[in-house]
Amino acid sequence: MLVSYELVDDIGVITVNNPPVNALSHGVREGLVTALATAQADSSKAIVLLCEGRTFIAGAEISEFGKPPQAPSLPEVNAAIEGASKPVIAALHGTALGGGFEVALSCHYRCAVSDAAVGLPEVKLGLLPGAGGTQRVPRLIGVEAALDMIASGKPVTAAKALKLGLIDRVVDAPLKAAALAYARELVAEGAMLRRVRDMKVSAEDASAEQFASWRTTLGKRMRGQQAPQRIVACVEAASRLPFDEGLAFERGQFVECTESEQSAALRHIFFAERQAPKVLGLDPASQPRPIQRVGIIGGGTMGGGIAMCFANAGIPVTLLELNQDGLDRGLALIGKNYGITVSKGKLSEQEAVRRERLIRGTTDYADLGEVDLVIEAVFESMEVKRQVFARLDEVCKPGAILATNTSYLDVNEIARVTDRPQDVVGLHFFSPANVMRLLEVVRADDTADDVLATAMAIGKRIGKVPVLARVCFGFIGNRMLRQYAREAQLCMIEGASPEQIDGALTGFGMAMGPLAVGDLAGLDIGYKARQALTDAQKGDPKSYCIADALVEMGRLGQKSGAGYYRYDPETRARSVDPEVLEVIEAQASKHGVSRRALSSDEILDRHLMALVNEGFRILEEGIAQRPGDIDVAYVHGYGFPAYQGGPMFYAAQRGLASVRDRLKALQRQTGAGYWEPAPLLERLVSQGQSLDDWMAEKH
């Protein structure tokens, strides 16, 4: 039963039970109205509203968005609660989020256990609180605190919620007994029906300048996103309009959000993130192996960042470096990174010290004898990795998982060095490893099912979004990045400047443009990798000649103060450098290219089409399991804007036929074979099928 009701002496108790997170499905909304009517009519003197399971209501049923609304709507449910003739007390545990917290705000009183949290994360779905949250919260805590909470979407702990005035009491578990006692206390003192709707927004922080400043701040912080701006409008309405008019305004804004492409994209990413760690066809009996201790090989930027991921999750780490100097540098870098986090106020000094102490250094492989998982993060050379895995195979205990952090090398070849290929897997982190959420889990031919299950589970445990990839050059993300990077180089030599190219992509919503990314990573990395390739493997010389020329001039990017841009030695602020245009023009003339003006649309299109076409090839080869996996990989690993949904979602929104036609036009324009539409795309278009149809057929 989704919603049940019982009379406990003089208190009515409404209980919601809709696993996994008590989402406010249509059935739950109906059940709440029915239970409330029952409570209104019986002898109860007050009503407690609580939930079974791990959390109070965590929001509206996201999967219902985009479908015809079914009465009662959530605002109707909330109006019924707030209009009750008896005090209704919300009893919160877990995370009372979104519509769930809006239900609680409609109650007359709110209590919570100490480890509960409350929040309005709708903005992360391209939405806004559509059931009174933007009207009730500013009445309770003022405009500034309300906008901070709603525009960030971040949850607030019970203690902070109490301090702000969002809840009235923090109680000790068991919650039901504590809530009943609190209800009786309220009844005994003759507590009034305190309705938030009757409160007024305090005027002192509700000036026009205040709201204008919020619009500017959010326009920068959440560039390109519509929902944050609408949130400001709703909170401003709360400070200007009577409650019911404000509520109607909020509802209008909310409905427009639910119909927006940005929200569809963000909801797609929400579910895709949760699907990605599920390995299709995995033996259901495959249980994750317990991971209590982890070893990391290599204390460089990646190794140190990976070590921090595990320490941050409370897992002890043994960090191995070849010699004491290397180890000291690695541990010092970790200490420096924790110091930066503390200085930013994101971590207490005490917690940073606790986590750092979980990372122990060694130069002796024998110290890895008891680890359950070891991750190699050494130099990207197959020879070096083969040596490391041979040693690991000797020293690690049976059943230990041996993982490589390689970003493109053949994990099958690495596995073959060991006598335990079934225990070898790729765990590809993205730099900075303790920040970027993507984790590519690379399945080699012999990787055992329970090793995959372990990789997915430990990936989630350390806060990553794990995505399964099969072995190929560059797996999912880097394979797509090569196509994207090629277009940046060709657009440049054909006529566009670095700032025009980067501007086109950041205007679309990318966190950084491809050339600024190149400068950040270091142009010498690609240069060195190209030295190992044959001319045929390198591809069109026009796709790397500028980068090579810059590196040969000593312009390596940010690390050398100049690359495609010039960088301030102190602040690293980026500025256009006329010298780069001379290099571009010299290379264009050397390669017989007569430069022309390129529109930003063409620049953007070529980059996006390059990503999409490679994505279709990756799907067809089975390198990625789902289109959504590719979207998650590119959003969380490469800064693709989540409110555009990822490359494959973007293609579906644009229309597969339109994508196919655009690719054919590019192929005619350039004569390049790589613009040939991927066979899977051609097939779907000719059969009038969508990617969802294809996925449904496959499984």
Is 118 a residue that touches ligand T1G (CB under 6 A)? no
Is 637 a residue that touches ligand T1G (CB under 6 A)? no
List, in sequence order, every beta strand (DSSP E) within 93-159: 95-97, 109-113, 117-119, 156-157
Binding mask 19-38 for ligand T1G (x = CB under 6 A): -xx-x---------------
Out of 12, 31, 59, 126, which residue is the one contacting ligand T1G (CB under 6 A)?
Answer: 59
Instruction: Please confirm, yes or no, whether 621 is among the known catalytic residues.
Output: no
Catalytic residue among 122, 273, 321, 499: 122
Choose the stretch contacting ligand T1G; rule: CB under 6 A; options: 122-130, 418-426, 527-535, 570-578. Answer: 122-130
Pick the closer one to ligand T1G by CB: 254 or 565.
254
Strands 373-376 and 294-297: parallel
Is 168 a residue that touches ligand T1G (CB under 6 A)? no
CB of 202 to ligand T1G, least distance (A): 23
Is 58 a residue that touches ligand T1G (CB under 6 A)? yes
Choose the stretch contacting ligand T1G; rule: CB under 6 A; options: 55-63, 243-251, 484-492, 576-584. Answer: 55-63
Is 102 a residue that touches ligand T1G (CB under 6 A)? yes
Is 295 a residue that touches ligand T1G (CB under 6 A)? no
Between CA 203 and CA 127 the distance in angstroms is 26
Out of 99, 304, 514, 637, which residue is the one contacting ligand T1G (CB under 6 A)?
Answer: 99
Is 462 a residue that touches ligand T1G (CB under 6 A)? no
Rg (CA), the chain: 28
CB of 269 to ligand T1G, least distance (A): 12
Out of 47, 49, 96, 97, which residue is the one contacting ligand T1G (CB under 6 A)?
Answer: 97
Tell me the backbone φ, ψ of residue 587, rounded to 5 degrees: -70, -35
Is 247 a residue that touches ligand T1G (CB under 6 A)? no
Q: Do 623 and 612 touch, CB atoms closer than 8 A?
A: no
Cα-Cα-Cα-Cα dihedral sign, residues 496, 497, 498, 501: negative
Pick the closer one to ligand T1G by CB: 277 or 330.
277
First-to-final CA distance of the chain:
31
3-class secondary structure per residue, 261-288: HHHHHHHHHHHHHHHCCCCCCCCCCCCC
Run of H or E including 395: helix 382-395
Cα-Cα-Cα-Cα dihedral sign, residues 207, 213, 216, 217: negative
Q: Where are the alpha helices (DSSP H) in 522-599?
A: 523-531, 535-538, 545-552, 578-590
* Closest alpha carbon to 417 in 440, 384, 455, 378: 384
Is 127 a residue that touches ligand T1G (CB under 6 A)? yes
Catalytic residue among 61, 76, 82, 102: 102
Instruction: Please confirm, yes or no, whether 494 is among the known catalytic residues.
Output: no
Is 60 a residue that touches ligand T1G (CB under 6 A)? yes
Is 274 a residue that touches ligand T1G (CB under 6 A)? yes
Is 76 a residue that touches ligand T1G (CB under 6 A)? no
3-class secondary structure per residue, 557-570: EHHHCECCCEECCC
Is 62 a residue that touches ligand T1G (CB under 6 A)? yes
Q: How far is CA 636 from CA 227, 400, 437, in A?
A: 21, 28, 6
Residues marked as catalytic: 102, 122
For binding to ligand T1G (CB under 6 A), which residues are involved?
20-21, 23, 58-63, 74, 95, 97-99, 102, 121-122, 125, 127, 129-131, 133, 271, 274
